[in-house]
Amino acid sequence: MGEADREASGPGLPPARFARIVPESDDAPVIRGFWTALDLLRPLVLLYVVGLYAYRLPGVAHPTRGWVILGVLTAWTVATLVVRRRTPWWLGTELAIGAAAILGSALVDSRAAIEGGAPTVPGLWPAATVLSWAVLAGPVAGGCAAGVIAVADLVLIRHPNSVTFHNIVILLLLGTLVGYCTDLVRRAHRLAREAEVVRARVVERERLARSVHDGVLQALSLVHRRGLEVGGEAADLGRMAGEQERRLRELIRTPVSQDPPPAAHGAPPVTDLTRLLLARASDRVVVVDTGRLVLSSDRARELDAAVGAALDNVARHAGPEARAWVLIEEVAGEVLVTVRDDGAGIAPGRLEQARDQGRLGVSSSIVSRLADLGGSAEVTSGARGTVVEMRAPIEAGPGIAPDAPTTGGPG
């Protein structure tokens, strides 16, 4: 079975698109119920149409031609029960058969009978096709299918009356409203599946958190305490263990609800930049959590790498007691990441000297990275430390970013 609304996003229903049809297994159970009902509707309507035709047979001008048309409809109805395909080509063929059967009524009944309101040979049978299009691809497809049948009716009758317009309006309402309802069902089914995925992730994270807490965290805590007690190189190892313990505790405490929303079907994967940078927090690095900032995964990783390069400069050159602060902001469609430290600062000309010596930490790892993202990096330094400001558009654009000044910490 097809699904017309594969991965809609946002509060409203998206327009139907025929290209979003997917295999039957991805459909909601209610949609599969719709298809089952339509499989029953066709033969039931066909029986009614055959009975109606037999009832008015004495007034038919060319009865044999009518039986030929009904034979074609019967063959197609049986084929739908055997093949059970739900593709645009299959239903397009069915729609063409229904419209041709309506137009073929002109070869069965006299013009006087048609103008007098005699039912067409296929009768209600084309309505099943209209409903099938509505279930397959939504309200737009259902309305278009109803429009095709309506045009066939108008061409046949030539001088439509109130009954003709009444039937056309009912068919249009059926096509659009049933399509709208199926879109609602698909959206509810998708949201329910996403909620089930989140619930499963919560359960798995809780299980992992218990395992980590009972094993790894206890071991890191012990190494931290014993290293500080022994002193010397062991104290350094203890502090490293303590930092890793803190990071791990922060990771398992992060709620699943902070995960970035899943990417739409066919869209590039996304990542929460704030969560990436929070992982860089330590005893000497403070990352201000300002809420989620979702970017494409590639852009988020590049920004994270640039921030990592700036923090490496702080660790190497700002002094053993220097601390750093990282702030993430969204300003006018751009992400602004500020890395500030309270270290010794950078001596005038030191950056140019580092670049001449082939140490390209700032010019390559920071400035060039931001230029590739269509942004810029600006580094200012003074007696009270260094500030690195990195700007990049949230979405990739065709423009070329201006060259950023290379006035940051040494590479």
Q: For residue 17, is pLDDT > 50?
A: no
Residues 204 and 127 reside in one and the same domain: yes
Non-local CB neighbours of 370 within 8 Å, separated by 6+ positions: 306, 376, 377, 390, 391, 392, 401, 404
Alpha-carbon distance 322 to 151, whole Å? Answer: 79
Alpha-carbon distance 196 to 172, whole Å? Answer: 36
Q: For residue 119, is pLDDT > 80?
A: yes
pLDDT of residue 400: 38
Among the residue ranges 43-47, 74-78, 146-150, 327-331, the one predicted with the least confidence is 327-331
Angle, CA 68 vertex, CA 172 and CA 126 arms, to 5°: 10
Among the residue ranges 67-71, 122-126, 177-181, 186-190, the one predicted with the least confidence is 186-190
Residues 217 and 329 reside in one and the same domain: no
Structure confidence at residue 409 as a pLDDT band (50, 70, 90):
very low
Residues 232 and 299 reside in one and the same domain: no
Q: For residue 247, is pLDDT > 80?
A: no
Q: For residue 84, is pLDDT > 90?
A: no
The pLDDT of 181-195, averaged and rounded, is 86
Residues 247 and 386 reside in one and the same domain: no
CB contact at 8 A, 179 and 141: yes
Structure confidence at residue 15 as a pLDDT band (50, 70, 90):
very low
Residues 19 and 149 reside in one and the same domain: yes
Residues 216 and 165 reside in one and the same domain: yes
Residues 106 and 242 reside in one and the same domain: yes
Q: For residue 158, is pLDDT > 50?
A: yes
Residues 255 and 361 reside in one and the same domain: no
For 336, the token pair is 């602004």
Residues 25 and 113 reside in one and the same domain: yes
Q: For residue 11, is pLDDT > 50?
A: no
Q: For residue 59, is pLDDT > 90?
A: no
Structure confidence at residue 24 as a pLDDT band (50, 70, 90):
very low
> Residue 306 sits in which domain range?
268-411
Residues 322 and 217 reside in one and the same domain: no
Q: For residue 362, is pLDDT > 90?
A: no
pLDDT digits (tens, 9 = 90+) for 286-320: 888 777 888 888 888 889 888 888 888 888 777 77
Domain stop point among 241, 259, 277: 259
